[in-house]
A and B are shown apart, each in its own frame.
Chain A
Amino acid sequence: MTELLEVRDLVKHFPVRSGLFRAADALKAVDGISFSIGVGQTLGLVGESGCGKSTTGRLVMRLLDPTSGSIRLAGEEIGALRGAALQEYRRRVQIVFQNPASALNPRQSVGTAIAAPLLAQGITPPGGVKARVRDLMDRVGLRPDHYNRFPHEFSGGQKQRVGIARALALDPRLIVCDEPVSALDVSVQAQVINLLQDIQQETGVAYLFISHDLSVVRHFADQVAVMYLGHLAEHGPTSDVFAAPKHPYTRALLSAVPSPSPGADRSGRIRLAGDLPSPSDPPSGCVFRTRCPLYAALGEERQRLCREQAPASVSGAACHHVAASALAE
Chain B
Amino acid sequence: MSATETLLAVRDLRVAFPTDDGVVHAVNGMDLTLGKGETIGLVGESGSGKTVTSQALLGLFKGTPATVTGEIVLDGTDLNTLSESAMLAYRGKKISMIFQDPLSAMHPFYPVGSQIAEVYRTHNRVSRKAAAEVAVDMLGRVGIPDPRRRAAGYPHEFSGGMRQRAMIAMALVCEPELLVADEPTTALDVTVQAQILDLIGELQAETGTAVIMVTHDLGVVAQVCHRVAVMYGGMCMEVASVDDLFAAPGHPYTQGLLASMPSLAEETGRLRPIPGFPPALLDLPAGCLFADRCPRASSVADDRCRTELPLLSGAGHLSRCHLGGLGEAA
Cβ–Cβ < 8 Å partners of A262 in chain B: 222-223, 242-243, 246
B265 located at the interface, meaning its Cβ lies under 8 Å from any Cβ of chain A in the complex: yes
Contact A259 B273 (CB under 8 A): no
Taking a contact as CB atoms closer than 8 A, the residue among A185, A212, A275 that contacts B216 in the complex is A185
- A264 adjacent to chain B (CB < 8 Å): yes
**Residue of B189, B193, B224 with most chain A CB atoms under a 10 A cut-off:** B189
Stretch from B255-263, B296-304, B311-319 contacting the other chain: B255-263
Partner of B190, one of A155, A185, A188, A212: A212
Q: CB < 8 Å: which of A242, A258, A271 contacts B223?
A: A258
Interface pair B190/A214, CB less than 8 Å apart: yes
How many Å from the CB of B163 to the closest CB on chain A?
Answer: 11
> Does any Cβ of A come within 8 Å of B45's Cβ?
yes
Report if B31 contacts A (CB, 8 A): no
Q: Is the CB of B159 within 8 A of A185?
A: no
Q: Which of B14-22, B62-70, B134-142, B194-202 contacts A (4 or more CB under 8 A)?
A: B194-202
Which residue of A has the minimal Cβ distance to B189? A48
Check A212 against B189 for contact (C-beta < 8 Å): yes
Q: Is B206 part of the binding interface, using a Cβ–Cβ cutoff of 8 Å?
A: no
Q: Are B198 and A219 in contact (CB under 8 A)?
A: no
A157 to B286 alpha-carbon distance, docked (Å): 26
**Do the beta carbons of B222 and A187 come within 8 Å of each other?**
no
CA–CA, A261 to B246, complex, Å? Answer: 7
Whether, in the assembled complex, B128 has its beta carbon less than 8 Å from a beta carbon of chain A, the answer is no
Tell me whether B271 and A193 are in contact (CB under 8 A): yes
Please tell me if B219 contacts chain A, counting CB pairs below 8 Å.
yes
Q: For chain B, which range describes its interface: under 10, 10 to 19, 20 to 34, or 35 or more residues? A: 35 or more
Q: What string of 1s and 0s marks CB contacts (under 8 Å) between B218-260 and chain A?
A: 1111111000000000000000001100100000000011101
* Contact yes or no, A185 B191, CB < 8 A: no
Which of the candidate stretches A29-37, A74-82, A249-257, A301-309 sits at the interface with the other chain? A249-257
The residue among A197, A252, A260 with the most chain B CB atoms within 10 A of its own CB is: A260
Residues in B with CB closer than 8 Å to A218 are: 262-264, 267-268
Kindly list chain A residues whose C-beta atoms are within 8 Å of the C-beta of B224: 258
C-alpha gap A212/B193 in the complex (Å): 13
Measured CB to CB, the closest approach of chain A to B198, in angstroms, equals: 7
User: Quick one: given A49-B189, A242-B264, are A260 and B219 in contact (CB under 8 Å)?
Assistant: yes
Tell whether B162 is near chain A: CB-to-CB under 8 Å: yes
Interface residues on A, range: 35 or more
- A219 and B268 contact, CB distance less than 8 A: yes
B191's partner among A261, A264, A266, A272 (CB-CB below 8 A) is: A272
Specify which of B159, B193, B221, B264 is in contact with A215 (CB 8 Å cutoff).
B264
Task: Give Cα distance in the complex from A257 to B223, angstroms.
Answer: 10
Q: Are A257 and B264 closer than 8 Å at their CB atoms? A: yes
Q: Does A20 count as interface, using CB distance less than 8 angstroms?
A: no
CB contacts under 8 Å to B, within A117-161, are 155-156
Chain A positions 264-280 with a Cβ under 8 Å from a chain B Cβ: 264, 266, 269, 271-272, 275-276
Cβ-defined contact, B159 with A275, below 8 A: yes
B256 proximity list for chain A (CB < 8 A): 187
The answer to whether A19 has its CB under 8 Å from any CB of chain B is no
Closest beta carbon of chain A to B50's beta carbon, Å: 12
B274 lies within 8 A of chain A by Cβ: yes
Q: Which residues of A contact B159 (CB under 8 A)?
A: 275-276
Provide the bound-state CA to CA distance between A48 and B219, in Å. 18
B156 within 8 A of A: no
A100 shortest CB reach to chain B, Å: 14
Q: Is residue B107 within 8 Å, beta carbon to beta carbon, of the partner chain? A: no
The chain A residue sitting closest to B273, CB to CB, is: A190
Report chain A residues within 8 Å CB of B222: 258-262, 264
Q: Is B184 an interface position by the 8 A CB rule?
A: no
Q: Give the chain B neighbours of A258 by CB distance below 8 A.
A: 193-194, 197, 217, 219-220, 222-224
On whether A48 and B190 interact (CB within 8 A), knowing A185-B216, A194-B273, the answer reads: yes
Q: Is A328 an interface residue (CB 8 A)?
A: no
Residues A275 and B219 in contact, CB atoms below 8 Å apart = no
Question: B123 within 8 Å of A by Cβ?
Answer: no
Task: Kindly state the separation between the CA atoms of A236 and B5 in the bound complex, as whole angstroms.
Answer: 52
Bound: A185/B246 CA distance, A:
19
Cross-chain contact B263 with A215 (CB below 8 angstroms)? yes
Shortest distance in angstroms between A255's beta carbon and chain B's nearest beta carbon? 8
Decide if A253 touches B271 in the complex (CB within 8 Å): no
| Cβ B243 vs Cβ A190 within 8 A | no
A263 CB within 8 Å of chain B: yes
Are A256 and B193 interface neighbours, CB within 8 A?
Answer: yes
Residues of A within 8 A of B (CB): 48-49, 155-156, 185-191, 193-194, 197, 212, 214-216, 218-220, 239, 242, 252-254, 256-264, 266, 269, 271-272, 275-276
Instruction: Please list 26 pairs of residues, one from A and one from B, whose beta carbons are closer than 8 Å in the complex, sorted by A's number.
Output: A48-B189, A48-B191, A155-B277, A156-B46, A185-B216, A187-B256, A187-B274, A190-B274, A193-B271, A194-B271, A194-B273, A197-B270, A212-B190, A218-B267, A218-B268, A219-B268, A256-B190, A257-B190, A258-B217, A259-B222, A259-B223, A260-B218, A260-B222, A261-B246, A263-B243, A271-B194
3 shortest A-B CB distances, which residue pairs? A219-B262, A258-B219, A190-B273
